[in-house]
A and B are shown apart, each in its own frame.
Chain A
Amino acid sequence: MTTGMLPALRGHFTSSRAVSLLQRGGAVVALVIACIAGSMRYYAFATPENLLNVLRQNSMLGLVALGMTFVILTGGIDLSVGALLAVSGVIAAMLSKHGSLLALAGGIGAATALGVVNGLLITRARIQPFIVTLAMMIAARGAALAVTSEQSIPASPQASALTWLGRGQLGPVPVPVVLFFLAYAVAWVTLRYTRFGRYVYAVGDSEEAARLMGLPADRLVLATYALSGALAGLAGVVLAGRLGAGQPVAGTGWELDAIAAVVVGGTLLTGGQGGAGATIIGVLLLGVIFNLFNLEGTISPWWQWVLRGTFLMGVVIIQGRLQRRARSH
Chain B
Amino acid sequence: MSDAPLLRMEGISKAFGGAMALDRVDLSLQRGEVHALVGENGAGKSTLMKILTGAYHRDAGVVQLEGSEVDFDTPADAQGAGVCAVHQEIHLLSHRTVAENIYIGREPTRYGFIDWGRMNAQAAELLRGLGLDIDPEATVESLNTARQQMVAIARGVSLGARVLVLDEPTSSLSPREVSILYELVARLKANGTAIVYISHRFDELYAICDRVTVLRDGKLVATRAMAGLERLDLVCLMLGKSREALRDGVTGFGDHRDAGEAVADRPAVLRTEHVASGAKLHDVSFEVRPGEIVGLAGLLGSGRTETARAIFGADVRNGGTVFVHGESVNPRTPDDAIRMGVGFVSEDRKAEGIIPELSIRENLTLAALPTLTKFGVVSRVKQREIVERYMTRLGIKASSADQRIRELSGGNQQKVLLARWLCTDPKLLILDEPTRGIDIGAKGEIQRLVNELAKLGMGVLMISSEIEELTEGSTRVVVLRDGCSVAELTGAEISPQAIIRAMASDSPAASAVNATSPVS
Contact = CB atoms under 8 A, between A and B. Distances in A.
A201 B93 contact: yes
A195 B85 CA distance: 23
Contacts of A192: 114
A212 interface: yes
Query: Most A CB atoms within 10 A — which of B55, B93, B107?
Result: B93
B93 A15 contact: no
Given A14-B135, A213-B75, 15 more contacts: A16-B139, A16-B142, A194-B112, A195-B109, A195-B114, A198-B100, A202-B96, A209-B93, A212-B75, A213-B79, A214-B74, A214-B76, A215-B76, A272-B93, A272-B95
Top 8 A-B residue pairs of the complex, sorted by shortest distance between their CB atoms? A214-B76, A209-B91, A205-B93, A14-B137, A193-B113, A16-B139, A212-B91, A193-B114
A18 to B, nearest CB: 10
A311 to B, nearest CB: 27
A213 B104 contact: yes
Contacts of B94: 205-206
Interface in B78-112: 79-80, 85, 87, 91-97, 100, 104-105, 107, 109, 112
Contacts of B100: 198
B207 interface: no
Contact of A198 (B55, B107, B137): B107
Interface of A: 14-16, 19, 189, 192-195, 198-199, 201-202, 205-206, 208-215, 272-273, 328
A205 B137 contact: no
The binding surface of chain B is classed by DSSP as loop
Contact of A205 (B55, B79, B96): B96
A2 to B, nearest CB: 18
Contacts of B232: none
Interface in B462-518: none
A215 to B, nearest CB: 6
Contacts of B85: 212
Contact of B104 (A189, A202, A211, A273): A202
B456 interface: no
B114 A206 contact: no
B93 A210 contact: yes
Interface string B66-79: 00000000111001
Given A14-B137, A15-B139, A211 B93 contact: no
A199 B114 CA distance: 12
A103 B328 CA distance: 77
A198 B114 contact: yes
B138 interface: yes
A211 B113 contact: no
Contacts of A195: 105, 107, 109, 114
Nearest to A209: B91
B79 A16 contact: no
A202 B100 CA distance: 10
A212 B56 CA distance: 12
28 contacts: A14-B97, A14-B135, A14-B137, A14-B138, A14-B139, A15-B142, A189-B113, A192-B114, A193-B113, A195-B105, A195-B107, A198-B107, A198-B114, A202-B96, A202-B104, A206-B91, A206-B93, A209-B91, A209-B93, A210-B93, A212-B75, A212-B85, A212-B87, A213-B76, A213-B79, A215-B76, A215-B105, A272-B93
A194 B113 contact: yes
Contact of A202 (B80, B87, B93, B142): B93
Nearest to B120: A14
Contacts of A272: 93, 95
Interface in B105-141: 105, 107, 109, 112-114, 116, 135, 137-139
A212 B49 CA distance: 13
A15 B142 CA distance: 9
B93 to A, nearest CB: 4
A284 B28 CA distance: 62
Query: Most B CB atoms within 10 A — which of A189, A195, A201?
Result: A195
Nearest to A271: B95
Given A202-B104, A213-B104, A213-B105, A16 B114 contact: no
A55 to B, nearest CB: 28
A328 B80 CA distance: 39
Contacts of B109: 195
Contact of B91 (A16, A19, A199, A208): A208
Contacts of A14: 97, 135, 137-139
Nearest to A198: B104
B124 to A, nearest CB: 13
A214 B105 CA distance: 8
Contacts of A214: 74-76, 79-80, 105
Contacts of B112: 194
Contacts of A15: 138-139, 142
Contacts of B279: 328
